[in-house]
Structure 1
Amino acid sequence: MSPESVLDNPAVENTPFDADEFDRVVMKTYGRFAIALERGRGCRVWDSDGKEYLDFVAGIATCTLGHAHPAMVEAVNRQIQKLHHVSNLYYIREQGELAKWLVDRSCADRAFFCNSGAEANEGAIKLSRKYAHTVLNIDEPVILTANASFHGRTLATITATGQPKYQKNFNPLVPGFHYVPYNDFEAIAAAIAQLDGGEKRRVAAILLEPLQGEGGVRPGDRAYFQKVRQLCDEKGILLILDEVQVGMGRSGQLWGYEHLGIEPDIFTSAKGLGGGIPIGALLCKSSCDVFEPGDHASTFGGNPFACGVALAVCETLERENLVENARERGEQLRVGLQAIADRYPQLFVEVRGWGLIDGIEIAAESEVTSIEIVKAAIVEGLLLVPAGPKVVRFVPPAIVTEAEIDRALEMLDRAISTRVS
């Protein structure tokens, strides 16, 4: 049965969902909202009680084409009937085609595929460390990352993440990381000077997000990144950009670094790359590709199924002009959010973002939290996601329409006026 018939056929009933039984057998690693989503189409999803929601979470900036997009449905059906998994012991046609699409549309020369953003960032850390040892002759390479950053949940990537709350009780952490304030060039320059120990210990790489997502939807400053790029060139330091959340058109450009007027040496992608099918990518320039057979690998990474579907997402993004749509609908969303912020000056202090990754910040002195606003929006039928305790994040699918943006703004306004303010 097609996704359309599943949604439209009145004979399809919602089955009861037992949250207690779920919690009995699934580890409680998430503080889940009290709804169980069962199906979706476009920018809409339905829960186990049949209630409809407008989805401005998109699997946390992941469902590029929304839900049950015909291009993804067709790609899934085609690929699963052809070849879904072999291994990287052999050449994989779909992997090569996806790599070519990404390389042709970025500053990268080569790609490595894995399963998630955390794995992509882990690969970037490994690549930069090998480069430090084999090219820069550094015994103890240091990677600079930013306060309030987020780079993943593996042991190395939570160490790279500049937020102590994610690191608590997981020590000893991986050595070789140092944190600096975001958008503060003087702090980076000072850290490099402080850590310079010659060949024994010095900075080998700087890992930054073009826009901090989990850290509160904070866009990178163009002048800052250009100075960082220049400093990296002068010092022989690799610049790594984590594009896991902002890449694949979400920012209104295909890549976040395009907003900044620079090119990284290495960057990572995931989330929107597969439109919800798990895939991650580590991309780099040939000048820093020092991996050799046996250095890095992934059993599932780059398999025919994930790459075939991801390529369909990429081609649809281009064919349907969805990067431009993200740019236009993002501007519409920010204008609407600013109007709401102006109506509640005691509650909100700033609206910011790029394309379809946007946030509205709650005043520090307000007792209202982002979770409270998210919960109030759920009652109205709008799904949103926090970005810290004081920022509400809006990351709808790239296919979102003008009417859906207007509807989401109305729902948010109603949620605030009736349940929050």
Structure 2
Amino acid sequence: MEQQQFIGRDGVSAKRKQYFYPCTAHFYRDAPQLVRGSMQFVYDENGKQYTDFFAGVSVVACGHCNPAITARTIEQLQQLQHTSTVYLTQPGVDLAERLEQLLPGSLRRTFFVNSGSEANEGALLLARMHTGRKGFIALESGLHGRTNLTMSVTGLQMWRTDKYLDEDVTFIARPYDPELTLEEAGARSLKNLEHVLQEKGDHIAAMIVEPIQGNGGMIMPVSWYFREVKALLDQYGVLLIDDEIQTGYGRTGAMFAMEHFGVVPDIISMAKALGNGVPVAAFATTDEIAASLNRPSASTFGGNPVSAATALAVLDYIEGERLAERAAELGERLKRGLQQLQERYPALISDVRGTGLMLGAELAGSDAVPAAELTDDVLEEMKDRGYLIGKNGVNRNVLAFQPPLIVTAEDIDGMIKALNEVLLQASHPHRK
């Protein structure tokens, strides 16, 4: 077999345009070709180093190609790669047992799949089967997946691609509004929820939420919000599905972000960081609710030996290196740095929000440069300085900071220094 020919970034870009669907895009005008990764760094085809502050959209929490994890993945690959759940293998049951020790409350039954979309789809199906009801409640500007049902409960319009989505979904105001305090926005959202439950609570199977809306702009509700939500849902026998796809496994300073609110959900979905880049996802629940998923079901690749062995290595590393505590500490450092930049450039940064190493800085536009365009400019300039950061938000104008949890204080300080230079230039567009 011929060795793969190196075609360079222009060749990769040309093939991408020729063979990928047109919906597939990347962040940059001058995109680097990434060819190698090591912990918090990735490298392009010319050997340039980039410090990754996006972690493949909150995935590689333990760092790129972490040798402690990769070694165990390779070991399992060389022993047994795939059988499916119709055969007995140990890695999957060991992972389920390990998750039971980490999951909140009495959540202990786990169904393994491959992606966050699948995990949320399964959670929604489980809620319907357990309650015998069809409808769902979701928050505006949430993102839950790209399957038909998960897209139906997604409130971000840019991700609602299908024109024929499930119509049995009711959206309520999210607990955030730039014109309101978090207290006021939370109260308004709760009032919306109460009205929906009073009107058709006996038809609603579940409410699905992200404890912190990632793609919606790093939106974290007031501390009491989810406690009040859960109490209301319980009154009507409506389940709470906690979508921890982006927030799970230490990123916010807790193993699961819902812990910040003191709430135990009925069903929890997880993916991304659990595999540190290897596809593995799951939805978990109690014995009682799990008993309702009693018709034949399976996932061909879900919880396969390689993904399960990798996830076990990931959990060992997260706990052994105290990454949740590290995210809380370094997150404070990063947030302070961003807030100082906000004070320095109030005309450019309108808000800094989030917790742990899941933070967002919302950029304010102007007549000359709209906010989304400014955001793209900042990403481009930061990339040229060796830092990869993300973007999200309803208007795509929020800088997203979700680095690997093994990032260092020096990395954070260096990124803040570079961002200061970029914002200084943006505040004086004619200065070179």
Shared fold, TM over 0.5: yes
Query: 1:364–1:414: structure 2 CA closer, same or farther, 3 Å change rule?
Result: closer
- % of aligned pairs identical? 34
- Partner of 1:236 in structure 2? 237
Q: 2:18 aligns with which of 16, 19, 24?
A: 24
Q: Distance in 1 between matches of 2:99 and 2:214?
A: 22
Amino acid at match of 1:53: Y
3-state secondary structure, aligned to 2:224: helix
Q: For 1:112-191, what aligned pairs fall within 5 Å after superposition?
A: 112-133=111-132, 138=133, 141-168=134-161, 170-183=162-175, 184-191=189-196
Deviation at 1:195, TM superposition (A): 2.2
3-state secondary structure, aligned to 1:67: coil
Q: Distance in 1 between matches of 2:279 and 2:285?
A: 20
Aligned residue-pair number: 398
CA shift digits 1:305-353 (9 cap, x unpaired): 0000011001100001111111111110000000111110111111111
- Partner of 2:334 in structure 1? 333
- Partner of 1:75 in structure 2? 72
Q: 1:405 aligns with which of 404, 412, 418?
A: 412
Q: For 1:24-103, what aligned pairs fall within 5 Å after superposition?
A: 24-32=18-26, 33=28, 34-103=31-100
CA contact 1:147–1:162 (8 Å) conserved in 2 = yes
Query: 1:420–1:71: structure 2 CA closer, same or farther, 3 Å change rule?
Result: farther
CA contact 1:112–1:282 (8 Å) conserved in 2 = yes
CA contact 2:130–2:293 (8 Å) conserved in 1 = no
Amino acid at match of 1:406: D
Query: 1:28–1:72: structure 2 CA closer, same or farther, 3 Å change rule?
Result: farther
CA contact 1:15–1:48 (8 Å) conserved in 2 = no
- Partner of 1:298 in structure 2? 299
Deviation at 1:165, TM superposition (A): 2.3
3-state secondary structure, aligned to 2:246: coil
- Partner of 2:391 in structure 1? 386
- Partner of 1:216 in structure 2? 217
Which range moves more in the overlay, 99-108 or 366-375?
366-375
CA shift digits 1:369-412 (9 cap, x unpaired): 22222122111111011113221100000111111111111121
Q: TM-score, normalised by structure 1?
A: 0.91
Amino acid at match of 1:234: Q
Q: TM-score, normalised by structure 2?
A: 0.89
- Partner of 1:266 in structure 2? 267
Deviation at 1:30, TM superposition (A): 2.3
Q: Distance in 1 between matches of 2:391 and 2:286?
A: 34
- Partner of 2:314 in structure 1? 313
CA RMSD in angstroms comes to: 1.7
Deviation at 1:100, TM superposition (A): 1.2
3-state secondary structure, aligned to 1:211: coil
Q: Distance in 1 between matches of 2:243 and 2:365?
A: 28
3-state secondary structure, aligned to 1:212: coil
Deviation at 1:292, TM superposition (A): 4.2
Which range moves more in the overlay, 158-167 or 325-334?
158-167
CA contact 1:376–1:416 (8 Å) conserved in 2 = no
